[in-house]
Amino acid sequence: MDWSALTLSLKLAAWTVLILLPLGIWTGHALAALHFRGKAWVEALLALPLVLPPTVLGYYLLVAMGGASPVGQFYESVFGKPLVFSFEGLLLASVIFNIPFAIQPMQRGFEAIAPEVRDAAACCGLTRWRTLWRIELPLAWPGILSAVVLTFAHTLGEFGVVLMVGGSIPGETKTVAIAIYDRVQAFDTSGAGVMSAVLLLISLVAIGAAYFTNARSRIKRHG
Amino acid sequence: MAEGIRVRLRQRGPIPLDATLQCAPGEVLALVGPSGSGKTTVLRAIAGLLRAAAGEIYSNGECWFDAQRGIHIEARRRRVGYVFQNYALFPHLSALHNVMEAMLDRPAAEREQRAREVLARVRLAGLEDRVPAALSGGQQQRVAVARALAREPQVLLLDEPFSAVDRATRQRLYRELAELRRDLAMPVILVTHDLDEALMLADQLCVLHQGRTLQAGEPYAVMTRPDSVEVAQLVGLRNVFRAGVVGHDEARAATIIEWRGHRLEARLQTAFAPGVQVTWAIPQGHIVLHRRDRPSRGERENPVSGPVVECVQLGENVALTVAVNGPERPPLFLTVPAHVARRNDIAAGVEIGLSLLAEGIHLMPADDSRTPAKPR
What is the DSSP annotation of A110-179?
Answer: HHTS-HHHHHHHHHTT--HHHIIIIIIHHHHHHHHHHHHHHHHHHHHH--HHHHHHHTT-TTTT--HHHH
For residue B375, pLDDT over 60 is answered with no
What's the ipTM? 0.83
For residue B374, pLDDT over 70 is answered with no
Mean pLDDT on A196-209: 90
A40: in domain: no
Alpha carbon distance B178, B145 (integer Å): 13
| CB proximity A123 to B under 8 Å | yes
Return the pLDDT at B194: 86
Return the pLDDT at B223: 92
A138: in domain: yes
Q: Which residues of A touch B76 (CB under 8 A)?
A: 122-127
Mean pLDDT across chain A, nearest whole number? 90
Cβ-based contacts under 8 A for chains A and B:
76
Task: Name which of B91, B102, B133 is nearest A125 (Cβ-Cβ).
Answer: B102
State the residue range of the domain holding A118: 3-30+45-222
| CB proximity B91 to A under 8 Å | yes
Cis peptide before B161 (omega within 30 of 0): no
Q: Kindly report, residue by residue over B148-193, the tens digit of the pLDDT.
A: 999 999 999 999 988 878 888 888 888 888 888 888 889 999 999 8
Q: What domains appear along chain B, each with residue ranges and CATH number?
A: 5-233 (3.40.50.300), 238-282+358-376 (2.40.50), 283-356 (2.40.50.100)
| CB proximity A50 to B under 8 Å | no
Mean pLDDT across chain B, nearest whole number? 90
In this structure, of A169-173, B5-9, B111-115, B261-265, the range with the lowest mean pLDDT score is A169-173
CA distances from B4 to A198, A204, B22, B77, B155 (A): 69, 61, 8, 17, 8
Q: Which residue of B has its CA nearest to A123?
A: B76
Task: Name which of B49, B77, B147 is nearest A119 (Cβ-Cβ).
Answer: B49
A73: in domain: yes
Q: Kindly report, residue by residue over A105-134, the tens digit of the pLDDT.
A: 999 999 999 999 999 999 999 999 999 999
Return the pLDDT at B1: 43
| CB proximity A114 to B under 8 Å | yes
CB atoms B80 and A126 under 8 Å:
no
| Minimal CA separation from A113 to chain B, in Å | 10
CB atoms A134 and B101 under 8 Å:
yes
Task: Name which of B88, B93, B147 is nearest A119 (Cβ-Cβ).
Answer: B88
Mean pLDDT on B83-90: 94
Mean pLDDT on A16-31: 96
Mean pLDDT on B58-68: 93
Task: Name which of A122, A125, A222 is nearest B104 (Cβ-Cβ).
Answer: A125
A36: in domain: no
The CATH number of residue A194's host domain is 1.10.3720.10
| CB proximity A21 to B under 8 Å | no
Return the pLDDT at B373: 46
| CB proximity A121 to B under 8 Å | yes
| CB proximity A216 to B under 8 Å | no
Count structural domains, chain A.
1
Task: Name which of A125, A222, A223 is nearest B151 (Cβ-Cβ).
Answer: A125
Identify the residue among A117, A118, A123 best suited for mutation to test binding to B, counting B beta carbons within 10 A and taking the highest.
A123
| Minimal CA separation from B200 to chain A, in Å | 27
Hey, what's the torsion of the CAs at A38, A39, A41, A47, to 10 degrees?
170
A37: in domain: no
Percent of chain B with pLDDT over 70: 95
Q: Kindly report, residue by residue over A47-102, the tens digit of the pLDDT.
A: 999 899 988 999 999 999 888 889 889 988 999 888 888 899 999 999 999 999 99
Mean pLDDT on A2-22: 92
Return the pLDDT at B332: 95
A35: in domain: no
Phi, psi of B234 (to 5 degrees): -70, -30
A154: in domain: yes
| Minimal CA separation from B48 to chain A, in Å | 8
| Minimal CA separation from B357 to chain A, in Å | 48
Return the pLDDT at B226: 93
Return the pLDDT at B193: 85
Q: Which residue of B has its CA nearest to A126?
A: B76
Mean pLDDT on B361-375: 66
A51: in domain: yes
Torsional class of A34: left (φ above 0), alpha (ψ -120 to 50), beta (otherwise): beta
For residue A202, the SS3 value is: helix
Describe the crossing of helices A3-33 and A39-51 by its angle, rounded to 10 degrees. Answer: 160
| CB proximity B64 to A under 8 Å | no
